[in-house]
């Protein structure tokens, strides 16, 4: 399947993807193979159903939100390979040497993480949205009262303009680099072949 992927991806396109994402040539070819294996229809696009067949996403409490992120990138009902790999680029570790136009800069990772919480897409995280995501993450392991307390405390600490919601700028202030890299930079469980092989 790797040979098929390298035939269908032209050298020029691989180079463009490398420049956009920071992935190596081998990583791009492996990710293209993974994309093709997920594309059950063989039409060059992935549907939500294709993503939901990934076992790691099926068991991830935020799996639906992660899948949603791929479709926010495409603004469509399907995702092509470029859109697929552009979202994956945000999961790469942040490196100081990478230029600011890369998709895995700290700013882009923060925007991606923010969208996980901004369920209605209004560029604000409300208490209800925060509670909904907390429910996704912890299920019934914490009482409603405890979840409400966590949501209230988070909004109280982050909300600097007093609107009882968290804006992207406020969100940036409460997330530190270590947490961001841990959650989005070192997590390759869904697409493990992103790692370089010796």
- Give the model's pLDDT for residue 170: 92
> What is the domain count for the chain?
2
Judged against a pLDDT cut of 70, whether residue 96 lies above it is answered with no
Per the domain annotation, does 171 fall within a domain? Answer: yes
Q: Which tokens go with 185? A: 């930079």
Domain-terminating residue out of 64, 89, 114: 89
Burial class of residue 33 (count of CB atoms within 10 Å of its CB; 0-12, 13-18, 19+): middle
Per the domain annotation, does 197 fall within a domain? Answer: no
Residues 38 and 79: beta-carbon distance below 8 Å: no
Residues 120 and 66 in one domain: no
Per the domain annotation, does 186 fall within a domain? Answer: no
Domain-terminating residue out of 45, 61, 89: 89
Residue 62 banded pLDDT, cuts 50, 70, 90: confident
Range of the structural domain that residue 124 is part of: 106-180
Per the domain annotation, does 5 fall within a domain? Answer: no
Mean pLDDT of 148-174: 92
Q: Which residues contact 11 (CB under 8 A, 6 or more apart)?
A: none
Quote the percentage of the chain above a pLDDT of 70. 79
Residues 34 and 10: beta-carbon distance below 8 Å: no
Judged against a pLDDT cut of 50, whether residue 80 lies above it is answered with yes
């Amino acid at each position: 399947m790797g040979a098929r992927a390298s035939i269908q991806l032209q050298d020029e396109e691989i180079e463009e993807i490398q420049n956009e994402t920071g992935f190596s040539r081998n990583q791009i070819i492996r990710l293209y193979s993974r994309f093709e294996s997920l594309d059950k229809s063989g039409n060059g696009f992935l549907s939500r159903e294709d993503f939901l067949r990934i076992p790691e996403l099926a068991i991830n409490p935020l799996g639906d939100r992660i899948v949603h992120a791929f479709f926010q990138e495409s603004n469509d009902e399907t995702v092509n390979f470029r859109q697929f790999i552009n979202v994956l680029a945000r999961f790469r570790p942040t490196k100081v040497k990478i230029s600011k136009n890369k998709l895995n800069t700290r700013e882009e990772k923060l925007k991606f993480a923010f969208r996980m919480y901004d369920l209605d897409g209004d560029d604000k995280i409300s208490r209800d949205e925060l509670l909904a995501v907390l429910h996704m993450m912890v299920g019934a392991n914490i009482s409603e009262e405890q979840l409400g307390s966590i949501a209230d405390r988070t909004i109280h600490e982050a909300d600097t303009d007093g609107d009882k919601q968290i804006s992207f700028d406020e969100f940036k202030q409460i997330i530190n680099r270590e947490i961001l890299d841990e959650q989005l930079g070192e997590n390759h469980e869904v697409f493990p072949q992103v790692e370089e092989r010796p």
